[in-house]
């Protein structure tokens, strides 16, 4: 498969670009909700519009009422989300949770998918325990209790957790904390007794929860996939989420770069447009080169994932790590090249820096994923 968009994908990219550039713009969404101190951190109205556009269920199989598209298509939407810094539960709900739910029983799917597709509900995922992404270690416990399970433990960095009607929780049903086996995924409803959120605003104005499960009673039908066999589902979910967040990062990098290159063409100092200075030209061109590479590997990872290739896991980590490096460079160069006004809240470039910082941490930063590339390569 060639590494560029086919006609349908090109059309989707145009549609998503126009939609996100208008409805999802920084002014209409990020600043709008932030300046009103919105407790959700995103707009439910826009989420309904995502549903109308067909975005919410794009990864859901057609048999389950979705569009049956692939990661490449979801990434197209995510790149536009990144470019416009559009706050939205799309990545958590429509990529991560939707990927996990693919592995659920018909009952589980029937309970959760229609409201996701309709934009009526928002879902989150609870994987991390502690400050860094370490999904190899799952300590949060779900013990057998009657016909169901009793969930105890803590989860961190549950993005939009407090606004979500359901949370996909990775918990341990057997074995010890670092075992590969013995993990089970649960669809935990918002109103489950014993679940408490400590919801905090993050640097990028998004919201994330520290969640405590204090003996939360779950029915057996809350299980997604097989009991003790959740590692494969978790890995599939994480892979989709990593490739998806790489795509969002590419959008952040491109947005920051475009804004900066425009600025270099306008700002005058020493009687010249500063874009005439070779010191800045070379840095901008280096950045361009890196952004192109990051975008290429992200498309590659998405294609491999859609093709079910065994290389997808490695390339997902390559993409996540590469994009993290490059998006970090883009926002740092962006703020520096904007000079003093880059430090002001009035200009948008600082918002890119904040979003990039949050995205870096989500599902593993560049150090985690570079380490993973080494491990998967056998050293």
Partner 1 sequence: MSDSDLEAFRAETRAWLDAHCPPEMREPVRDEDDIYWGGRNASFKNDAQKAWFEACRDKGYTVPAWPKDYGGAGLTPAQAKVLREEMSRIGARPPLSSFGIWMLGPALLHFGTEGQKQRFLNEIARGEIRWCQGYSEPGSGSDLVSLQTFGEDKGDHWVVNGQKIWTSYADKADWIFCLVRTDKANKYQGITFMLYDMASEGVSTKPILLISGNSPFCETFFDDVSVPKSYGEDVPAYVGEVNRGWDVAKYLLGHEREMISGADGGDRTSAIGAALTRANGEIDPVLRAELAQFDVDALAYSAMGEKFLDEIKVGKAHPAQPNMMKYAGTELNKRRHELIMAAGGSHALEWESEDTGGGKPSRNWLRTKANSIEGGTSEVMLNVISKRILDLPGA
* Interaction site with partner 1 (CB under 8 A): 2-4, 261, 264-265, 272-273, 275-276, 278, 281-282, 284-286, 288-290, 292-294, 296-297, 299-301, 314-315, 318-319, 321-322, 325, 366-367, 369-371, 373-374, 377-379
Q: Which is nearer to partner 1, 92 or 366 (CB)?
A: 366
CB of 318 to partner 1, least distance (A): 5
- C-beta of 157 vs 368, nearer to partner 1: 368
Give, as one character, the DSSP assignment of residue 155: E
Q: How many Cα atoms occupy the beta-carbon half-sphere of 362 within 13 Å?
A: 31
CB 189 within 8 A of CB 338: no
Q: Which is nearer to partner 1, 182 or 334 (CB)?
A: 334
β partners of residue 186: 169, 223
**What are the CB-based long-range contacts (under 8 Å, 24+) for 61-66?**
61/102, 64/109, 64/113, 65/113, 65/114, 65/117, 66/98, 66/113, 66/117
| Nearest residue (CB) to partner 1, 18 versus 289 | 289
How near is the Cβ of 122 to partner 1 at its closest, in Å?
33
Torsion, CA 189, CA 34, CA 18, CA 334, rounded to 10: -120
**Least distance in Å: CB of 68 to partner 1?**
23
State the nearest-atom distance from the C-beta of 265 to partner 1, in Å. 6
CB of 353 to partner 1, least distance (A): 21
Nearer to partner 1, 8 or 292 (CB): 292
Which residue, 109 or 322, has its beta carbon nearer to partner 1?
322
Minimum CB separation from partner 1 for residue 337, in Å?
A: 12
Distance CA 161, CA 98 (A): 15
Q: In angstroms, rounded to a whole number, what is the distance separating the alpha carbons of residues 170 and 186?
A: 7
> φ and ψ at 157, to 5 degrees?
55, 45
Determine how many CB atoms are found less than 10 A away from the CB of residue 32: 15
Q: Taking the complex as a whole, how short is the minimal distance between the CB of residue 293 and partner 1, in angstroms?
A: 4
Q: Judged by CB, which is closer to partner 1: 288, or 347?
A: 288
The residue among 68, 24, 31, 76 whose CA lies nearest residue 48 is: 24
Provide, rounded to whole angstroms, the least separation between the CB of residue 295 and partner 1: 8
SS (HEC) of 288-350: HHHHHHHHHHHHHHHHHHHCCCCCHHHHHHHHHHHHHHHHHHHHHHHHHHHHHHHHCCCCCHH
Whose Cβ is closer to partner 1: residue 60's or residue 72's? 72
Tokens of 155: 């989860």
Length of the chain: 379
Continuous segment of H or E residues that includes residue 167: strand 166-172
Q: Which residue has the tokens 């990434």?
A: 75
The residue (of 4 and 308) whose beta carbon lies closer to partner 1 is 4
Min dist CB 307 to partner 1, Å, is 14
- Output 202 or 314, the one with its CB closest to partner 1: 314
In whole angstroms, the minimum distance from the beta carbon of 308 to partner 1 comes to 18
CB-neighbour burial class of residue 116 (10 A; exposed 0-12, middle 13-18, buried 19+): buried
């Amino acid at each position: 498969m060639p590494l560029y968009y086919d006609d349908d994908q090109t059309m989707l990219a145009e549609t998503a670009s126009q939609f996100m550039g208008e409805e999802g713009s920084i002014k209409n969404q990020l600043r709008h909700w932030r300046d009103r101190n919105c407790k959700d951190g995103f707009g439910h109205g826009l989420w309904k519009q995502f549903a109308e556009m067909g975005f919410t269920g794009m990864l859901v199989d057609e048999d389950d009422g979705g569009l049956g598209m692939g990661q490449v298509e979801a990434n197209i939407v995510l790149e536009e989300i990144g470019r416009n810094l559009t706050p939205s539960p799309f990545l958590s709900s429509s990529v991560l949770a939707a990927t996990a739910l693919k592995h659920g029983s018909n009952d589980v799917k029937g309970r959760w998918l229609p409201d996701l597709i309709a934009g009526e509900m928002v879902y989150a995922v609870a994987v991390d325990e502690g400050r860094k992404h370490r999904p190899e270690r799952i300590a949060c416990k779900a013990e057998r209790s009657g016909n169901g399970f009793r969930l105890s433990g803590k989860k961190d960095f549950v993005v939009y957790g407090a606004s979500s009607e359901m949370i996909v929780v990775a918990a341990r049903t057997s074995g010890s904390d670092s075992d590969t086996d013995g993990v089970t995924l649960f669809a935990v409803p918002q109103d489950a007794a014993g679940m408490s959120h400590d919801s905090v605003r993050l640097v990028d104005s998004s919201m994330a929860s520290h969640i405590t499960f204090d003996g939360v009673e779950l029915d057996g039908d809350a299980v997604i996939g097989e009991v003790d066999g959740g590692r494969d589902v978790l890995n599939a979910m994480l892979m989709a989420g990593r490739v998806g967040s790489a795509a969002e990062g590419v959008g952040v990098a491109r947005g920051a770069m475009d804004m900066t290159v425009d600025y270099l063409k306008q700002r005058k100092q020493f009687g010249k447009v500063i874009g005439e200075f070779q010191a800045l030209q070379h840095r901008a061109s280096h950045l361009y080169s890196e952004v192109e590479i990051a975008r290429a590997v992200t498309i590659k990872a998405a294609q491999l994932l859609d093709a079910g290739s065994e290389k997808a896991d490695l390339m997902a980590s390559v993409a996540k790590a590469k994009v993290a490096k490059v998006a970090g460079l883009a926002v740092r160069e962006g703020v520096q090249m904007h000079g003093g006004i880059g430090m002001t809240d009035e200009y948008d470039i600082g918002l890119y820096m904040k979003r990039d910082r949050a995205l870096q941490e989500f599902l593993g930063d560049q150090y985690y994923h570079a380490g993973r590339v080494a491990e998967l390569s056998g050293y």
